[in-house]
Structure 1
Amino acid sequence: MLAMASHAATTVDFERPVLAGGAALQHRPWISKSHLSSGLAGVECFLSNCSFTRAPWLAVAFGTGAIAWFFLSSAATWAALCVVCVAIALFALNWHVGSARFPYIRQAILSLSLVVLAGCLSIWTRSEIVGQPAIERTMSGIFTARVLSLEEQPALQRDRLTLALREPRSGRSIKVRVNLPTALREQPLSTGAVIRFRGRLTPPASPMFPGGYDFARAAWFSGLSATGSITSPVEVISLGRGGDWLADQRAALSRHITTHLAGSPGGIAAALTTGDMGAIGQGDAQAMRDAGLAHLLSISGLHVSAVIGCVYFVVLRLLALFPALALRVRLPILAATCGAAAGLGYTLLSGSQVPTMRAFLGALLVLAAMAWGREALSMRLLAVAAVIVLVIWPESVVGPSFQMSFAAVMVLVALGNAEPLKRWLAPREEAWPFKAMRHLTMILITGIAIELALMPIALFHFHRAGLYGSVANVIAIPLTTLVIMPFVALALLLDVVGLGGPVWWLANHAIDALLAIARFIAAEPGAVRVMPTMSGWHFALFVAGGLWLGLWDSRIRLWGIMPIAAGFFGLMLIPVPDIMVSGDGRHVGWIDPESHRLVMLRAGSGDYALDNLMEVAGTREVPINAQTAPGTRCNADFCAVELRYGEEARHVLIARGRAIVPEMQLAEACRWADVVIAERRLPRTCRPKWLKVDRQMLDRTGGLTIDLASRSVRTVAEGQGNHGWWKPAAPTMIERKGWY
């Protein structure tokens, strides 16, 4: 009785604390000690019952640490994250109550905090080691450089060269990437050659608009300090010595293939063999993307798995024909070794790109599991592969290639372990048509599931996604792996004795069939879904829900449907920005309120600017020229735009050139406008009602989008922080001159 009374008194003291004046609070707290204890006990029970599915979350924690480094703004915040992780780990180590009553919770807190710390330190270290500062400003002149790599792009009538040269101003050695028009290549080039040329170099470009592709970040982790173009014929000072022999052989093999197969079929055959996609026509490449077949052009998991799997099973079957060998040697280990050797050779032949290396490392783990008699593909194995990749290339966690490949494999593993599908594919006595129908249905279900999983990733990175890819892949994947790749390999083998001609003819027709599928699917109404720029929070909902749904194996996984549903609901509410301004101020677009069509200031803008504007606006319609747009009046110097929303109107003044305008007239025009946009610096006397976007502001913010209804501005600088690839001219503040 005394114990019960003591417990009751303790409970009352906790739930009804006494104020200084003696009066007790009249409400109960949200969480009492008993509720907290029971909640922890429930979590402890859950963790104790899912021992094998806890491990993959360590890979998620490692990736979270790397992602946090990208989205935190400065070295101080990165260090703060590390300190917080260490503090949490120390708390878990010294949590004596948790050690006795909640060992699994204590273990989870300790391990997750340390792995997040490892992820952050990994990407921080990688950035410091490989990152190279960009050149300060655009430079033109005569350069002498050594060729590091050469990629021929006949479809674009150019070659892409990676060069090593000395920066004229600082004298430091830098790596640059330039485009060489085919007409200016008078002599054959090879890796290691020293060349002299006249050209133009620019710093790697940051996103043109918020949410766009960040080439500057990719260049930072590739060690590139500049990009540019060659504008004069190249003079070869010395031939390549000690260059990349394998790269030269790969280029020669690509040329050999394209001489037998002209146009896009040759480009696709070369892409499947050496990873060189330079000969694929732009229209065909876009059709492959819109049909959801672009993954077939990039050597990754599908191609590496096909090569390794073919070698593994062929070697295994052949060796099984020799009983003496089969009784003395573990054939799966020998076959796995041969498969690994074939995969390594294919990886080296295709240029050892990061997606190919990632696929090869994952295939090695699968081969090791098969050789040891373990489950060939599981979530734990996938997690190990993800951690290995992130340790070597931690920057890949924010790239679409890593996200798409691991998301697709996770869907395959989750579906393969689902009990309903296991029962659907279980062996049974039935006629072969029914058996084929069950497997075909499974392929279609898998394709649809993968398309749904990859759609948010495609929308986030590319602002567009194919909707019929699952249907196209049912035919295209078997056609590629079982017909096209064997034909190309056999043709290359027969070319050694000059007998590859008939097989090249068959390969050409097979690739034509693949392109016909892509063109047909891409041309169907609604084949492609385009959307405005998705925010990071929307994407985080999809990622969190997908991971929760895929990594757990009990009913609790269904809770992952909630954030996914919230993400899809949020997609429907994403607003299209009213005005879009590029970082250089030259490319401006706005949405006409009446027709909801995109209007573009400069009709002669290049394809890159046009594509970026259409992506941000989430449209596939060709923009309207500002000269003919409703509510727009233009002269040689400015365009005055009236955007009318019901009874309200917003007035925007956009500069068209750099001609000198009388300051008094400019000041009067600025007072009339709500927003003024110019690529040059405007005087202080230009004071619009709300916002002035000129050179001074754009140097700080980069490209930006404006939402007139919410009176908000979103800038490129907001997502960059103080990382090495972003060097703003001043703090990223936005000065606003009043409101409407």
Structure 2
Amino acid sequence: MNATPPSMAFEPRQTSVCRNIRRAGEGLFARLERGLEAEREQLGLWVPVAVGIGIAAWLSLSNRLEWLAFCCGAVALATGGLALPVGARLRQMLVLAGLLACAGCLLIWGKATIFGAPPLPRAVFLEVTGEVMAVNAVPAQQLSRVSIRPIEPVALPPLIRVNIAAADMPAGIGRGAIIRFRTRLMPPAPASLPGGYDFARRAYFQGIGATGRALKPIAVLRPSEEAPPLRNRLFAHILQQADGDGAGIAAALATGDQGAIAEEDAEAMRRSGLAHLLSISGLHVTALIGAVIFLLMRVMALSRRAALSLPLMLIAAGGGALAGVGYTLLTGAEVPTVRSCVAALLVLGGLALGREAITLRLIAAGALVVLFLWPEALAGPSFQMSFGAVIALVALGEHPRFRAFAAVREESALRKFGRSVAILLFSGFAVELALAPIALFHFHKAGMMGAFANLIAIPLTTFVVMPLEALALLLDVVGLGAPAWWLASRALGLLLWIAHAVAASPWAVVTAPVVPNAVFGMIVLGGLCCLLWRGRWRWIGLAPVAIGIVIIVTTSPPEILVTADGRHVAVRSADGGMAILRDRAGDYVRDMMAESAGYDGALAAMADLPEASCSRDLCMVALSAGGRVWRLLVTRTGDLVPKSTLAGDCARADIVVADRRLPSWCRPRWLKADRRLLARTGGLAIDLDEGKVRAAKVAGDAHPWIARPSERWPRRRSD
């Protein structure tokens, strides 16, 4: 019997751990390569996603150090990808993803540095002389928004926007006019509550450095000599010709200006899931271009010579393209319209060349154009809802089972009608699922019955309202548009009736409190994974979507909301309702606080709560949360409160909220939110169950639209 060599006695009897790890890594890499090779047609769709991640990082992170850290991390990802084998799909994906994310961050950073308008440091009351740059009427609010280039004083931002009441609007105000008025100018308003609408960011990129309200008398030093823009003339003409509550919707469909729509009608459209009809998007652009192509083809086909010798489709596609571009410019070139126009132009180019259009690639191309020109649009609901709805529809249409179900076939008229209804319902449900997280993030409510409302509203708008309105405008050239306007108004009345009927349902909307940015981003990336990939691994995206939904559902709404100025305070009552401190607060404040709390109902008066004890100056409310009773003290007036009264109430309270600076001897047990604190934090959302406070402002936020009160004013502009 042979003896075992001594050297083998010391060799391991199992494969080493390092070798197992290496083999597992090689196997995983091989599987990823096979999967990416199968998805090679889809990889280009992630280009705008990578750019968008870079833009979102700049908007979400706070300061230059964090922005530079993100760019360095993105470049490090690209550099790490170079370590993979040459020619590997994963290598190309990582390198491009890192470079595109870094480019997206630098793109919006550069635009904000070069083109943005710094806000006014603090509120000032002064007399302004300036040149009118634009006038936008808002009939629903009985005012006009006027953009002005200040002439005196010269220290003002280069562009300000003031509201002028309709009753105070003098004649002769238009583009080029010079006017003088008194006003209280303020920096553009930031978010009043955590997760609220940040007008300051939007105004910065629009070049608006201050806002205010012009006080009469308003002197016109030089009247305007220019005719109002075509869009304004068309807006006024439609409001004059159309009748009923739908006149504002008719003007919005033609011009994109929603200023004439009554607030109750706009809210009904939002709750019923029909608000997308008010924003000029793919539905409107496609209907217009399709109608122009159809008419041009029919008219040119009347000539035998033209039909036999001319490329009718090429000519009709060119006419449709011109109509789409003109419609986009007329309606203000908003994000959904630009996206739809770019996609439509690419489709028309493909048709003219005889090639089949790849729809998802067209969407990606439109997204890249929008992000390159307006990177800040990524943060707005318009961009997100527009692209989210279209991606969901196209992904559904490309699914083999849905495509087989929707394919044209020989069948009875009844079965064909039922199939068409089912296709519309499936499409509506897909859009509602895609838009629900976006609506919850921005508006804290999402429509649940939009699929059923759109089943009637979309055909009604596309095939009845818009053709009748176009016919009425054409007949107005010869003064015969009244009958068409009457029919269009009746159709719009039916559309509003549908909106109000659906909105009145108790199941119309679902509400949620403020959704954290990280949770929303996780849901969006998971949804894109499900919609853009085609293999089985696409369903991995359901995991982050499900986790995000669970977080949203289980998040407890705040018990106390405080606006940035400390004047408005809302609390959650013992019966689950909401109550506001100042019962005379406007609808905007009420809606803002209800939405931030995820509450869908009317706000009661805090003084009427049984758990509240209020005097003329102070109000003490007992709130049960987190297994204990919290006592909230808020000030109701600006009058001086005796020290003996205020000191005792402060000592008994856990939280004190005031719109003034409180003395040092006012010492509540947990939190004192007076003017001094709110100036640093902005609005507050207080969750008593978990003992957490969320602030609207981030400490050390270096974004350029943040007003710096410490800066001196006036500051002369550099030439």
TM-score normalised by L of structure 1: 0.91
Shift of 1:172: 4.5
Where 1:52 maps in the other structure, the secondary structure is: coil
Alignment partner of 1:105 is 2:90 = yes
Partner residue of 2:515 out of 522, 529, 534: 534
Cα distance between partner residues in 1 of 2:103 and 2:550: 34
Structure 2 residue aligned with 1:697, among 662, 666, 677? 677
Matches within 5 A, 1:148-159: 148-159=133-144
- CA distance change for structure 1 residues 412 and 157 in 2, over 3 Å: closer, same or farther? same
Moved more, 186-195 or 38-47: 186-195
Read off the aligned partner of 1:631 and give its amino acid letter: E
CA contact (8 A) 2:528 2:541 kept: yes
Corresponding position: 1:63 with 2:52: yes
1: CA distance between counterparts of 2:537 and 2:179? 62
Q: Secondary structure at the match of 1:718?
A: coil
User: In 2, Cα distance between the equivalents of 1:420 and 1:225?
Assistant: 53
Which structure 2 segments of 5+ residues have no match? 711-719
Q: How far did residue 636 of structure 1 move?
A: 2.6
Within a 5 Å distance, the mapping from 1:499-648 to structure 2 comes to 499-592=480-573, 594-645=574-625, 648=628
Mapped contact 2:238–2:251 kept (Cα < 8 A): yes
1:451 to 412, 428, 432: 432
Single out whichever of 346-355 and 696-705 deviates more from structure 2: 346-355
Q: Distance in 1 between matches of 2:366 and 2:308?
A: 33
Specify the alignment match of 2:266 in structure 1.
285
The number of equivalent residue pairs is 705
Is it true that 1:44 corresponds to 2:27 in the alignment? no
Give the Cα–Cα distance (whole angstroms) in 1 for the partners of residues 670 and 657 of structure 2. Answer: 12
Identity in percent: 43
Closer/same/farther in 2, CA of residues 598 and 38 from structure 1, 3 Å limit: same
Q: Distance in 2 between matches of 1:373 and 1:621?
A: 55
- Give me the whole-angstrom Cα distance separating, in 1, the residues matched to 2:498 and 2:100: 45
CA shift for structure 1 position 202: 1.3
In the alignment, which of 78, 86, 91 is matched to residue 75 of structure 2? 86
Find the aligned partners of 1:463 and 1:720 in 2 and give their Cα distance: 27
For the Cα contact (< 8 Å) 1:201–1:228, is it kept in 2? yes
Cα deviations across residues 89-121 of structure 1 (Å, max 9, x unaligned)? 23333x2xx224x71111111111111111111
- Structure 2 counterpart of 1:433: 414
Letter in 1 for 2:537: I
Partner residue of 2:180 out of 196, 209, 214: 196
Query: Which whole-Å CA distance do the structure 2 matches of 1:487 and 1:720 have between them?
Result: 54
Q: State whether structure 2 residue 363 is matched by structure 1 residue 372.
A: no
8 Å Cα contact 2:619-2:634 kept in structure 1? yes
| Partner Cα distance (1:434, 1:719) in 2 | 62
User: Cα–Cα, structure 1 residues 345 and 63, in superposed 2: closer, same or farther, change >3 Å?
Assistant: same
| Match of residue 200, structure 2, among 210, 216, 240 | 216
Cα distance in 2 for partners of 1:502, 1:665 equals 70
CA distance 1:193–1:459, change in 2 (3 Å): same
SS in 2 for 1:228: strand
TM-score, normalised by the number of residues in structure 2: 0.93
- How many Å separate the matches in 2 of 1:484 and 1:664? 67
1:127 aligns with 2:116: no
Alpha-carbon distance change, 67 to 670 in structure 1, aligned in 2, over 3 angstroms: same
Q: Is the contact between residue 263 and residue 280 of structure 1 (CA under 8 Å) also seen in structure 2?
A: no
Which is worse superposed, 189-198 or 560-569?
560-569
TM superposition shift of 1:262: 3.0
1:359 maps to which residue? 340
Question: Whole-Å Cα distance in 1 between the matches of residues 53 and 699 of structure 2?
Answer: 17
Corresponding residue number in structure 2 for 1:717 = 697
Structure 1 residue 656 displacement after superposition: 2.1
Separation in 1, partners of 2:164, 2:335:
25
Q: CA deviation at 1:627?
A: 1.5
1:26-41 equivalent positions in 2, closer than 5 A:
32-41=21-30
Structure-1 separation of matches of 2:319 and 2:14: 68
Q: Which residue, 225, 232, 235 being the options, matches 2:219?
A: 235
Q: Deviations over 1:265-302 (max 9, x none)?
A: 22111111122222222222221111111111122221
Tell me the secondary structure at the aligned position of residue 264 of structure 1. Answer: coil
SS for the counterpart of 1:476 is helix
Amino acid at match of 2:546: A
Deviations 1:167-224 (A, max 9, x none): 73x6245212221111112314221211122222211111111011111111111111
Q: Is the 8 A contact 1:165 1:173 kept in 2?
A: yes
Aligned to 1:262: 243
SS of the equivalent of 1:79 reads helix
Residue pair 1:365, 1:385 contacting (<8 A) in 2 also: no
- Residue 453 of structure 2 contacts residue 502 of structure 2 at CA under 8 Å; is this kept in 1? yes
Distance 1:108 1:352, change over 3 A: closer
Is contact 1:157–1:181 with CA below 8 Å preserved after alignment? yes
Distance 1:545 1:190 in 2: 48
Per-residue CA deviation, residues 322-379 of structure 1 (Å, 9 max, x unaligned), is 5654555543332221111111221222233333223222221222222223333422
From 297, 310, 314, the counterpart of 1:316: 297
In structure 1, what is the equivalent of residue 715 of structure 2?
none
Report deviation, 1:690.
1.5
2:276 aligned partner: 295
Which residue of structure 2 lines up, in the alignment, with residue 736 of structure 1? none
Q: Distance in 2 between matches of 1:209 and 1:539?
A: 18
The Cα shift of 1:393 comes to: 0.7
Indicate how the Cα distance of structure 1 residues 13 and 431 shifts in structure 2: closer, same or farther if over 3 A, else same. closer
Contact kept in structure 2, 1:166 and 1:173, CA below 8 Å: no
Change in CA separation of 1:489 and 1:646 when aligned onto 2, cut-off 3 Å: closer
Greater mean deviation of Cα atoms: 691-700 or 619-628 = 619-628
Q: 1:489 aligns with which of 455, 470, 478?
A: 470
The answer for the alignment partner of 1:735 in structure 2 is none
Distance apart, 1:664 and its partner CA: 5.5
The DSSP-based 3-state class of the residue aligned with 2:49 is helix
1:54 aligns with 2:43: yes
Deviations 1:572-602 (A, max 9, x none): 212110111110011111112x212212111
**Residues 203/254 of structure 1: CA separation in 2 closer, same or farther (3 Å cut):** same
Q: CA RMSD in A?
A: 2.5
Q: Which amino acid aligns with 1:128?
A: T
On the 8 A contact 2:625/2:689 being kept in 1, the answer is no
Q: Distance in 2 between matches of 1:318 and 1:422?
A: 33
Which residue number in structure 1 is paired with residue 166 of structure 2?
182
